[in-house]
Amino acid sequence: MSDTDQPPHEAAWSLWPRSRAAIVSRQAVRFALTGVLSCGSVLPAQATTPESRCYGTVSHGRIDGSVKLPGSGPNFTGYSTLGATAGRTHVHSKVAQTIVAAYAAVERIDPTLRYVYGETGWPSGGRFRPHRTHQNGLSVDFFVPVRNAQGQSVAVPTDVTNRLGYDLEFDQDGRYGEYRIDFPAMAEHLYQLHVAAKAQGIGIALVIFDAAYLRRLFATPRGPYLQQNLPFMKGRPWVRHDEHYHVDFAVRCASASDK
Ligand SMILES: [Zn+2]
């Protein structure tokens, strides 16, 4: 799996200023197209799927037998069919089962909620530009659930005009245009992810989300549970996480040097 054909300036989000709106669209298309020719075979995310085997860490690793996340479900969609076709939505089988189970659990509680997941990783893992981690099938980006001006839960817009969602910039009140972050819906999702992960015999190793919003997240009905049970990153992440939350799942992996 190779994504080394990207120009050096795309090696990091931080070198990709959000203010350069004129080039965002072009960059987004290139970003989405990265690795179009590098897809491996994929397996459906079903209980019968052979278990994936991960190696190393999220920042230096790889994966055998990954599965591609389903493109959509009753209450969720992926961020980009282009990105999915390019092979950017592969995960460990246990992570896939956890994600699908969590969406199903949320749906049972409130079928009106809509969610969008973002980038995960390559079919065989490894360096996944412009992300620093996402290397062994255990890292997943989820876009914040939002409500529109009518108060309806809707899929957050992710297209080439906002670099497939990653350039959405919410203000300090959690608003972007007509959209506002649905913190209770996000908290419910994180809660169900944790419950589903435990049911799969795995865990959650790290959650990264904008520190300024954590207070809002913890003020929701699921907030106290999240605060007590989930490992939120302390301090500032290297790129602002206002439009998405990053989750590293905890799965026992082989050493990076294992064959
Ligand atoms: Zn991420």
pLDDT at 47: 52
- pLDDT tens-digit readout, 148-180: 999 999 999 998 888 999 999 999 999 999 999
211 inside domain: yes
pLDDT at 48: 65
230 inside domain: yes
Helix and strand tally (H, E) in the chain?
6, 14
178 inside domain: yes
**241 C-alpha to center of ligand 1: Å?**
9
2 inside domain: no
**138 C-alpha to center of ligand 1: Å?**
10
- pLDDT tens-digit readout, 18-47: 333 333 333 443 444 343 333 333 444 455
**128 C-alpha to center of ligand 1: Å?**
10
pLDDT at 42: 43
3 inside domain: no
Q: Number of structural domains, the chain?
A: 1
**CATH number for 200:** 3.30.1380.10
**133 C-alpha to center of ligand 1: Å?**
7
pLDDT at 13: 37
**153 C-alpha to center of ligand 1: Å?**
23
pLDDT at 44: 47
pLDDT at 37: 30
Question: What are the residues whose beta carbons fall under 8 Å from the beta carbon of 164, sequence distance 6 or more?
Answer: 28, 31, 32, 79, 80, 82, 83, 118, 158
**137 C-alpha to center of ligand 1: Å?**
11
258 inside domain: no
**Stretches in the chain below the pLDDT threshold 70:** 1-49, 238
255 inside domain: no
pLDDT at 25: 39
Which tokens hold the place of 30? 């290139």
**121 C-alpha to center of ligand 1: Å?**
9
With a threshold of 0.85, does the pTM exceed it? no
Amino acid in position 231:
P
Question: What are the residues whose beta carbons fall under 8 Å from the beta carbon of 257, sequence distance 6 or more?
Answer: none
Range of the domain at 65: 8-250
1 inside domain: no
Tokens 């085997």 sit at which residue? 53
